[in-house]
Structures are given as C-alpha cells and as structure tokens.
Amino acid sequence: MSHKRVVVTGIGALSALGNTVADTWQNMINGVSGAGPITLFDASKFKTRFACELKNFDPQDYLDRKEARKLDRYCQLALVVSDQAMADAGLNKDNIDVDRAGVIFASGIGGLITFQEEVINFAKGDGTPRFNPFFIPKMILDIAAGQISMRHGLRGPNFAVTSACASSTNAIGVAVDLIRAGKADVVLTGGSEAVISEAGVGGFNSMKALSERNDSPETASRPYDKDRDGFVMGEGAGALILESLEHAQARGARIICEIAGSGASADAHHITAPHPEGLGAKHVMLAALADAGMQPEEIHYINTHGTSTPIGDGAEVKAIQAVFGEHAYKLNISSTKSMTGHCLGAAGVIETIACIQAVLHNIVPPTINHFTDDPELDPNLNFTFNKAQKRTVDAALSNTFGFGGHNACVIVKKFVP
C-alpha cells in the first residue's frame, strides 16, 4: 500500500545526559552514565536512593517564573523540548497553516509530583478542602499536549497518548498515521515524564522493579548483564517535528530522516511481566516492518527496551531472534537506558532520537555497565557492550514495552529523495 512519506525536520531533548539533543548524544556515544544520588527529595529512607535526574536544569531559564509555577515538572519539560524542536525545524505559527499542525504528546503518568503535593497538603490540614486551583490542570496527562498547542498556536489534532512506558512511541505512530491520512501536514510529537518523587520511587520500589545498588548508582543499570537487578528511574522529554515529505519540501525544510513505519501490539499476558517468549514483542516488530514495507535484513540497529530487569531483557532477545533469524547476528543491539535511565512514558521518544542520531552519524551507542555474561543470552549477538561502534546504519528500530502489556515500535531510516 502506498502512503505519504513522513519525515523528521526538528528534534528537541532533555535527559540526564544533557539539556539538548547534541549534549545527550555526545554523552551517549561516550558511554556516560546519567545516574547519581537523588536530589529532588530526601530519599534517605528509601530502598533506592538514586536516579537519572536532569543536571543543571532550572525551568526559569526557559519559562517565565509565573508560567512555570502553574505547570507540573513533566509539563515544564514538555514545553522546553517543544521549543527546541520548533526552533530546530524553523517553524512558527506564522509560516505554517496552524489549522493543519497538530500536537500528539505522551506521558505514562503525568503530573504525579503535583498530585502527591496536593494530597499531602490536604492530609496535613484539618479536613477542610483547600486545593490549589491549578491542581487538576497541572496534573492531568493531556495538559502537556494542550499547553504545547497554546504556546505555539497549533490548532490541528491535539491529544495525549498513554500506554505506560510505550506511550511516546505510540504517540509517534499516531502522529505518522495522521499525516499519512491527510489529517495534518505537521505534527509535533513526543513525550515527557518527571516522577522522581516519594510516590514514584516508593511505588516502583514496592514492586521490586528498581535497582537497589545504592553503593554504585552509575553502574546500577546493566541491561543483559547476569547480575542485573532492576531499572534505574529517569526523567526527561523529547519532541519531534514530523511533516509530510511534500510539506517539508515545499517550505525548503532540512530533512533529518524518515519515519519508515510503526507498530503496536499487546502481550495479553500479565499486568507487569512480559510474555516469557516475547510474543508481543515479536508481533510488534513484525507489524512495524510490514508498515514500513521493509525486510528484517534492512535493519542495522535495534535500540531495545532493555530495562535491566531479569525477565524483560531475556524475553526481548528471544523476540529479536525470532523476527530476524540469522540476520540477528549482523545487527547491533543496545540499550541506551543503561545511560539515561528508564524515562517511562518519555523513553520511546528519547530512544527514537538515539536511533535518528545513529542513522545520521553511523555510530551505535553502547550498552554500558556490562561486567558478566548472562549464560541465558546468546553470546554471539552484538549487544554493543561498553563502547560505541561505528558502522553503516541505514535503518534503525526502537522498541518500547509498557505495563499492561503494551508494545510499540518505530523504524527510522536515512532519507533518500
């Protein structure tokens, strides 16, 4: 089936590795860990006392002070990366048809910090309901999409996508489909997450999902290592400007790469654990390849979900081997979560940006913190351990999987006119 081609013309990113795309990418290929002791709250009594926080980030460097106070942290991050992406694409409300410019923006959890603060304040009182009038507008997870559209005057399709850790990958897929269907010419898409808080860390700790290597935060996230013990929570955001090829060419835009295809599937298995044989992961990669009209052999790099959990990493590897067969041994595989931490609903877009950079620069970022081979994983696969590798990357695939069994996949490739 023929359909409109969708290209990337702008990118924005905030992560524990940097407050720009360039800084994030440079630290990523250098194998820098973004993990360190938690500073956003007193974590001294928690089982996990470290995370991948943003560094030297003050929202008032980017947003008006009064404006920033009305926004949850996740929404602050969303506005910053939207500004970056719009500027990178050379777009503003005066040079596009704003009625055909949409915003599809994701979060897995939304304003958890605001929710926590308001409930604690109420509990400390005498029972009289005194809530901040911005409580609900700050907390709801669609508000980032709404705030972005208001900030940039974009009046096209506008809503949030949420599917836990697959959220921003699914948002990219929805954005692509809107452009292909002719319902928008331009879509700003991506996701944001900021839940490094008592509720966020405590909740994931109670599930035994987080690493507890408090003595060595920078080596705690170790995907595919025999001694992996859970993920490291991260915060961050990413944004992409997607356009139909015709629209981008008509305005003389710099085309960064092409979004070739996307896929979505469900494990239909368990609320938190993946299918042990990776069936949902297998199906979502096959769906993305079919949507892109590509063969498995055309993929050179996979940025895996790779959270550093004992079950999840192994299931995804089984899925990769099932989909790619012998070609799996010619792939580079890596988990950049080993450096950024797991950014939950923002993970997908940040990792898609890593794929875009790999395609642009023909460098595969590493999976850091590998110390001991896991005998359950095929040693002949190239997990790009500990050091970036130069190679031709014409096409890259990014996987993200979320609680609830949500699976999402996106494929990016070099743009060929």
- Residues with catalytic annotation? 165
Q: By C-alpha distance, which of 311, 316, 288, 338 is closest to 401? A: 316
- 3-state class of 18 per DSSP? strand
Residue 374 CA to residue 312 CA, distance in Å, equals 13
- 3-state class of 58 per DSSP? coil
Distances (CA, A) of 394 to 26, 270, 291: 20, 35, 17
Q: How much is the CA Rg of the chain, to the nearest whole Å?
A: 20
Other C-beta atoms within 10 Å of 87: how many?
13
Torsion angle (degrees, nearest 10) of CA 26, 30, 31, 32 = -60
Other C-beta atoms within 10 Å of 75: how many?
32
Residue 359 CA to residue 351 CA, distance in Å, equals 12
- Scanning the structure block, which residue is given the tokens 């850091």? 368
Residues 173, 264 contacting (CB under 8 angstroms): yes
Q: By C-alpha distance, which of 391, 334, 367, 384 is closest to 221? A: 367
The residues facing 7 across adjacent strands are 243, 258
